[in-house]
Structure 1
Amino acid sequence: MKPLSDTYVEETRLGFWFLRSHTWQHHVLRVAINDLRSLFSDPLPSAPVILDAGCGQGKSFQYLHKTFAPKRLIGLDADPLSLQLSGEEAKHQGIDIELIGSDCAELDIPDASVDILFCHQTFHHLVQQDRALAEFHRVLKPGGYLLFAESTEAYIDTWVIRWLFRHPMHVQKSAEQYLEMIRDQGFEFEARNVSYPYLWWSRSKDFGLLERLGLLKPKPVGQREETLVNVVARKPQQGTKP
C-alpha cells in the first residue's frame, strides 16, 4: 500500500513486526503511558478527546482508553496497512475508534478540537518536525495537553538501530533539542513535567546488559547522554503563542 505522505520513511520488515510484538506493547507503550500519566501537574481532563498521532498498529488504544477514559479516541497514521491493523486492534479490544490517514505535518482535524494529543515514538520518523509540532499546537484546545515520548539521537544513531530499523537521520535530536522545540512552539511545561527514562531497551551500546550483570554502575541524570525523553506540555489557556 502506498504511504499517504510524500516524506514517509517506510519501516523495515523487522521494525513493522516489532511494533506489533508483546515487547513493544507491554514494555514500551504501557510503560511510556504510565510514566506520562505521572507527569501531570493537574487533574486529568474529564472525558477528553484524544488524538494518537502516529498510532501505528493501534497497540496504544487499550492503554489510552484505560488511563484517560476518553469520550472520543482518534488514531492517525500515514501508513494504510498500519491503519487497517489499528482498526482490527480496536475491534478486538472493543474500543470505538476514528481512524484518519494523514501525515502529522498536515492534520485534517479542526482547530482547538483535541484535549490530549499523544505522540509516542513517532517524532523521530517525521521529516517535517516543525510543521508537525505547529499542527499539534493548532488542533489542541487552549489548556490541552501534548503527551510527547521520544527516543533521542543518542539512541537512534547507534549501529544496532541503524542496521535493524529505518529513520530519517538528518532530523534526529537530543532530549534538550526536543524540549526546546516544544517550548518554541508555544507549549508550557516545568521540570516536574519531564522525565528521562533509562530503560534497558534504550541503552545505546549494550541494552543495559553490563548493568544487569553488576559490572557497570548506571550514570545518573545529568551525567549521561539521554536516550529517551517524556514530557507533558500544555497549550496556554489563551491559545496563543508567547
Structure 2
Amino acid sequence: MNGQNPQFLSDSYVEETRFGFWFLRSQTWQHHVLRVAINDLRSLFDGEPPRNPVLLDAGCGQGKSFQYLRQVFAPKRLIGVDADPHSLKLSAEEARRQQWEVELIGSDCATLKVADASVDLLFCHQTFHHLVEQEKALAEFYRVLKPGGYLLFAESTEAYIDTWVIRWLFRHPMHVQKSAGQYLQMIARQGFEFTQDNVSYPYLWWSRAKDFGLLERLGLRQPPPVGQREETLVNVVARKPLDPPVDEQGPSA
C-alpha cells in the first residue's frame, strides 16, 4: 500500500482533487466527453467490433461509462477496474441504478487481476495520463486481451495536461505526460497494430487550454488543421495480432 495514500490500491496512485472527482460525475463529463469519445472510438474500427464481447473498462472511475459502453458495444460481460475503492463503490451504485451486472475489481492497471487472453475489448479512456507505470500497464493490457482483441485508447496529451488551468483544477503525475505521437509509438512498440485510419485527433472545445474554443465558436477564428497544431487529444483503436510475434513463439522445431 502507498504510505501517503493507504486507502488506494496502488503504490503510485495520484489522488484527484475534489473538483476533479466532482467533475468526473458531472453531466458535462458524461455527455460532452465520455459519450463523444466512445462514439468516436466506435467509428475507428475497420469493420464491425466483436459481438457480445468481454469488455474491460480500465480505470472505470465512478462507472459513468457503463451506460455508453452498453449502448455501443453490447458486452455480454463488463469488467470495471479501478485503484480507488471509493470510486468502485460509486461504480457499483451506478451499475445497480442501470440494473446491469458489472464485475468490479480493485486493482492497479499495472498489475491487472484478470486472466491472460480473456478480454475482447479493453477501454482506456482518460486513464493513462493518471498512471505512473505506463509501460507496465500497457503490457498488462496486451496480456489480458485475446489475440485479435482491441485496445480502445482515448487520451489527453501533455499539450493539454501541462497548462495552468488543468494543473490548477486537477492533479496528475506530470513527469509521465506524453504527446499524441509518443502515445502512439508506445502502443506500437508494445505490439499492437493500427493504421492512421484507426486514429483520430479530436480538437474539442474542452481541450483548448487558452480559450476553450470560444473564439472559434464565435466565428472569430478557424481551428488549425491536423498537422498544423499541437494535438490535445488522441484516440486509437489498436488490435492485438492474431499470431504472436516470432520472439513470443519460442524456438522453432
Q: Offset at 1:239? A: 3.5
2:148 corresponds in structure 1 to 143
1:119-130 superposed matches below 5 A = 119-130=124-135
1:1-242 superposed matches below 5 A = 2-240=7-245
- Is there any run of 5+ residues in structure 2 with no aligned partner, and where? 1-5, 248-253
Higher Cα Rg, which structure: 2
Give the TM-score normalised by structure 2.
Answer: 0.94
Which runs of at least 4 in structure 1 moved beyond 4 Å after TM superposition? none
- Contact 1:62–1:95 (8 Å) recurs in 2: no
* Cα distance in structure 1, aligned partners of 2:40 and 2:239: 16
- Contact 1:4–1:102 (8 Å) recurs in 2: yes
Q: Which amino acid aligns with 1:214?
A: G
Report the CA distance shift for 1:186/1:13 in structure 2 as closer, same or farther (over 3 A): same
2:250 corresponds in structure 1 to none
Question: Which digits, 9 at most, give the CA deviation of each residue in 1:27-75, with x for residues without a partner?
Answer: 1000000000000002110110000000000000011111111110000
Q: Secondary structure at the match of 1:149?
A: strand
* Cα distance in structure 1, aligned partners of 2:31 and 2:95: 17
* Cα distance in structure 1, aligned partners of 2:234 and 2:130: 15
Identity score, percent: 79
* Cα distance in structure 2, aligned partners of 1:241 and 1:126: 30
Q: Which amino acid aligns with 2:31?
A: H
Q: Which amino acid aligns with 1:128?
A: E
- Contact 1:186–1:241 (8 Å) recurs in 2: no
Question: Which digits, 9 at most, give the CA deviation of each residue in 1:168-192, with x for residues without a partner?
Answer: 0000000000000000000000010
- Is there any run of 5+ residues in structure 1 with no aligned partner, and where? none
Q: Secondary structure at the match of 2:111?
A: coil
- Contact 1:146–1:232 (8 Å) recurs in 2: yes
Give the TM-score normalised by structure 1.
Answer: 0.98
